[in-house]
């Protein structure tokens, strides 16, 4: 079985000294890898997740890089919880510079079997949750006259496949949200971009592999091997490979890059 690699070893840059990064979905694979990468490059990191103990475990891993890190149990479907979390982080560290919206869910039901509740919950988490996160971020980033929002969309936001109506809709919507927020915050020097990962080795992709693969009579590893073969690069992404692009989008090297939805998918979608 493939093992997720959350960190790239040998990172020598320290681009985020003195910066504050807030990450939703930080207990998970991609959000967690982002938290670790920002900590590795010396940001203070706030790990938000509906899974409070998971967020705290990731914050503890961040502290191992010698930076301050905090965890907050936060359900991104609740605007009040999101607003309170941003206020708590800003009160603790004096502001916020980098926001990664990575909280997300995937259900994988075929269209005719999607219950209303599942549709609504996927939209509430992946799209409305990201909207609450972007809206809460805006005043803090404007105060800084800079900074970055990175929304984790998906390859499914640009293309699609069966049994992902609600997921694709939420991830396409997130690209639209990203463009609009980018327009509004551009005059303030804030960049807002989306990353569209391909299959990335996390808990979510294993869940997808189990349910979608199961429908085709494949076990999770066999399904993942098939997906790797579909990919021009012939493999599934590691979480750190998504985090590395998030770090670039938060860095000084990308100050003129905004409103984009970047495919980080080994060449699956080329646009
Ligand atoms: N893994 C992939 O192949 C892949 C590909 C494209 C996009 N993505 C996207 O990347 C993001 C991260 O996914 P991942 O692969 O790391 O999965 P993951 O399951 O490892 O992480 C998702 C995290 O989001 C958290 N979460 C779920 N609902 C929440 C809520 N209401 N409030 C706060 N936190 C909540 C979960 O607890 C979990 O820690 C998601 O938005 C996902 O859609 C993943």
pLDDT in tens, 53-96: 999 999 999 999 999 999 999 999 999 999 999 999 999 999 99
Average pLDDT over residues 224-241: 97
- The answer to whether 53 touches 72, Cβ cutoff 8 Å, is no
The confidence score (pLDDT) of residue 237 equals 98
> Torsion over CA of 59, 60, 66 and 69, rounded to 10 degrees?
30
pLDDT in tens, 108-131: 999 999 999 999 999 999 999 999
Gap from CA of 187 to ligand 1 centroid (Å)? 30
What is the whole-number distance in angstroms between the Cα of residue 218 and the centre of ligand 1? 23
Using CA positions, which residue lies closest to atom 41 of ligand 1? 104
Q: Which CATH class is domain 20-200+237-264?
A: alpha beta
Q: Which atom of ligand 1 sits closest to the CA of residue 124?
A: 31
pLDDT exceeds 80 at position 138: yes
CA dist., res. 62 & res. 21, Å (int): 12
- pLDDT value at position 155? 97
At residue 2 the predicted structure's pLDDT band, cuts being 50, 70 and 90, is: confident
Active-site positions read 167
Counting atoms of ligand 1 from 1, which one is nearest the CA of 76? 32
Closest by CA to 252, choosing from 171, 169, 174, 148, is: 148
What is the pTM (predicted TM-score) of this model? Answer: 0.98
Q: Identify which of 6, 24, 25 to mutate to test ligand 1's pocket (most ligand atoms within 8 A of the CB).
A: 25
pLDDT of residue 35: 98
Which residue shows structure tokens 């706030």?
46
Write out the two tokens for 55. Answer: 């967020």
Ligand 1 center to residue 105 CA distance, Å? 5
How far does the centroid of ligand 1 lie from the alpha carbon of residue 142, in Å?
A: 27
Looking at per-residue confidence, does 258 or 11 come out higher? 258
C-alpha to C-alpha distances, 68 to 27, 63, 82, 84, 220, nearest whole angstrom: 17, 6, 21, 19, 37
Over 80: is that where the pLDDT of 1 sits?
no
User: In whole angstroms, what is the distance from residue 251 CA to residue 101 CA?
Assistant: 17
Q: Rounded mean pLDDT of 94-114?
A: 96
Mean pLDDT of 209-221: 92
User: Who's near 263: CB < 8 A, 6+ residues apart?
Assistant: 155, 158, 196, 198, 269, 270, 271
Q: Mutation test of ligand 1: which of 204, 211, 236, 238 has the most ligand atoms closer than 8 Å to its C-beta?
A: 204
* Cα 158 off chain centre by: 16
Round to whole Å and give the CA distance between 9 and 73.
Answer: 29
pLDDT at 85: 98
**Ligand 1 within 6 A of 51 CB?**
yes
User: Which backbone phi and psi does 71 adopt, to 5 degrees?
Assistant: -125, 145
The residues near 77 (Cβ < 8 Å, ≥ 6 apart) are 121, 124, 125, 128, 129, 132
pLDDT, mean of residues 30-35: 98
C-alpha distances (whole Å) from 264 to each of 124, 193, 194, 219, 239 are 24, 13, 10, 25, 11
Cα gap 141→211, rounded to integer Å = 39
Q: Are 73 and 55 in contact (CB under 8 A)?
A: yes
Residue 32 Cβ contacting ligand 1 at under 6 Å: no
Q: Is 122 in the pocket of ligand 1 (CB under 6 A)?
A: no
Q: Where are any strands of DSSP class E within 131-190? A: 148-152
Domains in the chain: boundaries: 20-200+237-264
Q: Is 77 in the pocket of ligand 1 (CB under 6 A)?
A: yes
């Amino acid at each position: 079985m493939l093992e997720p690699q959350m960190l790239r070893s040998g990172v020598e840059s320290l681009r985020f000294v003195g910066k504050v990064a807030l990450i939703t979905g930080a207990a998970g694979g991609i959000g967690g890898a982002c938290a670790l990468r920002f900590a590795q490059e010396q940001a203070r990191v706030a790990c938000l997740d509906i899974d409070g103990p998971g967020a705290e475990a990731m914050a503890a891993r961040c502290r191992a890089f010698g930076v301050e890190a905090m965890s907050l149990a936060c359900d991104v479907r609740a605007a009040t919880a999101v607003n309170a979390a941003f206020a708590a982080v800003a009160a603790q560290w004096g502001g916020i510079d980098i926001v990664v919206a990575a909280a997300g869910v995937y259900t994988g039901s075929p269209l005719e079997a999607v219950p209303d509740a599942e549709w609504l919950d996927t939209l509430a988490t992946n799209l409305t949750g990201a909207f609450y996160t972007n809206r809460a971020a805006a005043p803090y980033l404007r105060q800084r006259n800079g900074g970055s929002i990175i929304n984790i969309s998906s390859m499914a936001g640009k293309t699609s496949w069966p049994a992902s109506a609600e997921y694709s809709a939420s991830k396409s919507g997130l690209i639209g949200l990203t463009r609009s927020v980018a327009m509004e915050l551009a005059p303030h020097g804030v960049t807002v971009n989306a990353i569209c990962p391909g299959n990335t080795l996390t808990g979510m992709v294993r869940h997808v592999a189990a349910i979608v693969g199961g429908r085709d009579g494949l076990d999770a590893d066999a399904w993942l091997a098939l997906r790797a073969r579909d990919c021009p690069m012939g493999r599934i992404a590691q979480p750190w490979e998504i985090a590395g692009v998030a770090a670039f989008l938060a860095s000084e090297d990308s100050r003129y890059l905004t409103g984009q939805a970047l495919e980080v998918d080994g060449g699956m979608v080329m646009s």
